[in-house]
Structure 1
Amino acid sequence: MSASKKARAAARLSAVQALYQFDMEGTLMATLLDEFHRHRLGMEIDEEKFEKADVAFFDDIVKGAVARREEIDAVLSQKLASGWSLERLDKTMLQILRAGAYELMARADVPTGAVITEYVDVAHAFFEEREAKFVNGVLDAVAKSVR
């Protein structure tokens, strides 16, 4: 994987973590971005080295997913199986789907397959295969409706 692809992959994983923190703690956007820029992106935490992230890409996903949350959530809600709601989803899963949907809706420069594959990889960092397949299915349905 090229350095730029690794940097974008790291940005996506960090963006999901930032969105989770924003959702759970209500951290102000400027504070949240500053914390990630200074203490998380490309840093070593508990002896685990984090990949250098594409900071501008990270900022775009976090700011964009928050700014367009209502629109994103409406699209995601339409793609969930009957009887399911966003409220029923695991909080981390919801942030993965929001970040992926944002990229599909707003980042035409990123190929559909790349977005879906990358967020399936992010899902694997937190979940088992079943949930990763769920991410694949939902983001594929989102892509078909927004691209």
Structure 2
Amino acid sequence: MTSDTVPRPRTARQMKSAARLYAVQALFQMEASDQGTEGVIREFLDHRFGASYDGDEMAEGDPDHFREVVEQAVNWQARIDQMTDRALVAKWPIARLDPTLRALFRACGAELVALDTPPRVAISEYVEIARAFFPEGREAGFVNAVLDHMAREARPEAF
């Protein structure tokens, strides 16, 4: 998984954006290593937020938003995965997706289902994260379409 370093954010919005990126990375790590929620949250807060490795500085992130996204993605994973499956074509269920995309859909799904993030903000933020992980591909458009479908299901009143 790439995109480990991002510039140091200066505003609350940038801190939330960094927290979202870290949440996607944490959810990816949890799936890849079978690490538990509290362990991965603690690791990120202690060793990633604002850390410096080989001269590269990691971004400061909003620790509360990071924790909420990760915890709610785990708490609501079954519903989020079902929403994602409904947004995908029948021959390509969530289990066949790249694990980074699964983590991204789960993180954004948490914001759509359990947090008060406006759907357009969540979609925009996670499409940007998709661009960071897949700069050469068509994934950003794919992510946008899936997240739009998920948002309309989770929060139809917002559209």
Length-normalised TM-score, structure 2: 0.87
Partner of 2:154: 146
What's the CA shift for 1:129? 4.5
How far apart are the structure 2 equivalents of 1:53 and 1:76? 26
Residue 4 (structure 2) aligns with: none
In 1: Cα distance, 2:53 partner to 2:72 partner: 27
Trace 1:12-31 onto structure 2 (pairs within 5 A): 12-31=20-39
TM-fit CA distance, 1:2: 6.1
Gaps of 5+ in 2: 1-8
Long gaps (5+) in structure 1:
none
Q: Matches of residues 1-147 of structure 1 in structure 2 within 5 Å?
A: 3-108=11-116, 110-127=117-134, 128-147=136-155
Offset at residue 49 of structure 1 (A):
1.4
Contact kept? 1:6, 1:51, Cα under 8 Å: no
Deviation by residue 1:59-92 (Cα, 9 ceiling, x = unmatched): 0001110111111111111110231111110010
**Structure with the higher fraction of residues in helix conformation:** 1
Please tell me the root mean square deviation across aligned C-alpha atoms, in Å. 1.4
Partner amino acid, structure 2, of 1:44: S
1:47 is displaced (CA, Å) by 2.2
Give the Cα–Cα distance (whole angstroms) in 1 for the partners of residues 53 and 131 of structure 2.
20
Aligned length: 146
